[in-house]
Amino acid sequence: MKTSEIFDGLLQNLKLGGTATTVAARRDEITKALNKDFYDKTGSTEHKLMVGSFGRHTAIKGVSDLDMIYILPPGIRKDYDGDTGPRRILNRVRDALKSRYKDTDIRVDQCVVRVQFSSNAFKFEVQPAFENDDGSFDYPDTKAEGWKVTKPRDEIAATKECNDRTSTNMRHLARMARAWKNTSGANMGGLLIDTLVHNFFAQTTEYDSASSSSFDLMARDFFEFLKDEPEQDYYLALGSRQRVYVKQKFQPKAKKAYNRCLEAIDFDGKAAANRKWREVFGTSVPLATSKNEASRSFRDTEQFIEDCFPIDISESVSIDCEVTQDGWRPTKLREMLRTGALLKANRSLKFVVTGCSVERPYVLKWKVLNRGAEAERRDMIRGQIVDSSKPGVHTEHSDFKGEHVVECYAVKDGIVVARDRIDVPISNTSPAAATSS
């Protein structure tokens, strides 16, 4: 498959599709309910502005958090001055929406009113705000007990300007970066991603008019740019120049993506290239038809979390593995990988969650994938999505040589919001069969 076919297929599969229509319908319903309360208008869809990834047109399939500004009547501004003003206005928005959606989870969360639609896993974050003469907005903050300024129109305009200048490649790359985020588990907000993509195009003109046949090189250079970024607490957002904070270091995952890009480029024209690009961007990368598939001797039992739940990474989870055998002290697998120590067969493996930022309740899912000739010979590639052996733990046994992979997923409100993976390279072969316990 040609490079252009791989990336054209990827971008096609990342499109919102019917999701955009559903989002627009929900947006208008919310606006009508608020206009009835604040403007005494029935059926009106004025006074709204979609912001965030959806508003900047960089969202992808699976997006779950929708950001919306509801523009308040300027005449009521003085009624919400003072320390209690922010909470009172948010409570009023909440109550107006509750009267429309009686069975929906609606609550105030510091600066927004969250509306969780369980039927389609969408969560709208409605931010009531007063518009200023310069196009910025004053929005309520219950923690600060005051009003703060946001400039989403400047961010939308900067996105459009960069996208027009780069022949739509800015939005293409921003969507690809989101696919990478959701595949790798990089905990990055959408505004940070768009800002980094904007900064990438600000330091090179090489891809301003590139076609999809060069998107492999564009992806390679983008991840090289990311991995070499100095660590910092925040960036200045594109357009608005307001602070957008870094929730988790992205450089290590970007370095892995860069190395996988190099490998995929080396496989150019072969079916292996598609599989390697899938390691970067996930299952939205189309697979090439292999001549060997019909004659293969093993069952393809691998499942993909994307087929079970929407993916929208907004939190982080970390896993490690405790390696033990009789008569030996337990050792952490990540430390073994760091020092180059060999993991051999006939070891007990206890995979544990070492950190998770997701607010409870949530559900953990696991996947164990066996790779290599030995796994195929034994017809034991596995790869099914399974539950924890016990809370926060999944146990296995190292049995045969190969490059094995274990992934963990945190699922909240029906959406995968965090994921992590660890490579499990087993260096020698045992006669035992691979089994989980």
Q: Are 9 and 278 in contact (CB under 8 A)?
A: no
- Same domain flag for 156 and 206: yes
- Same domain flag for 173 and 285: yes
Asked whether residue 2 is assigned to any structural domain, the reply reads no
Query: What is the pTM for the complete model shown?
Result: 0.91
Tokens of 149: 């300024």
- Same domain flag for 139 and 235: no
- Same domain flag for 93 and 113: yes
CATH number, domain of 22, equals: 3.30.460.90
Asked whether residue 28 is assigned to any structural domain, the reply reads yes
- Same domain flag for 218 and 183: yes
Asked whether residue 270 is assigned to any structural domain, the reply reads yes
Per-residue pLDDT of the chain (437 residues; tens, 9 = 90+): 999 999 999 999 999 988 899 999 999 999 999 999 999 999 999 999 999 999 999 999 988 889 999 999 999 999 999 999 999 999 999 999 999 999 999 999 999 999 998 765 689 999 999 999 999 999 999 999 999 999 999 999 999 999 999 999 999 999 999 999 999 999 999 999 999 999 999 999 999 999 999 999 999 999 999 999 999 999 999 999 999 999 999 999 999 999 999 999 999 999 999 999 999 999 999 998 765 555 567 888 999 999 999 999 999 999 999 998 766 788 999 998 888 888 887 788 999 999 999 999 999 999 999 988 888 888 888 999 999 988 999 998 877 778 889 999 999 988 999 999 999 988 864 433 333 33
- Same domain flag for 158 and 279: yes
What distances in angstroms separate CA 82 from CA 79, 213, 387, one per listed residue? 9, 57, 49
- Same domain flag for 156 and 284: yes
- Residue after which a domain boundary falls, among 150, 168, 183: 150
What distances in angstroms separate CA 156 from CA 28, 172, 188, one per listed residue? 20, 15, 19
Q: Which domain holds residue 338?
A: 296-426
- Same domain flag for 422 and 326: yes
DSSP 8-state symbol, 76:
G
Asked whether residue 410 is assigned to any structural domain, the reply reads yes
- Same domain flag for 186 and 271: yes
Total domains present in the chain:
3
- Same domain flag for 162 and 143: no
Q: Are 407 and 371 in contact (CB under 8 A)?
A: no
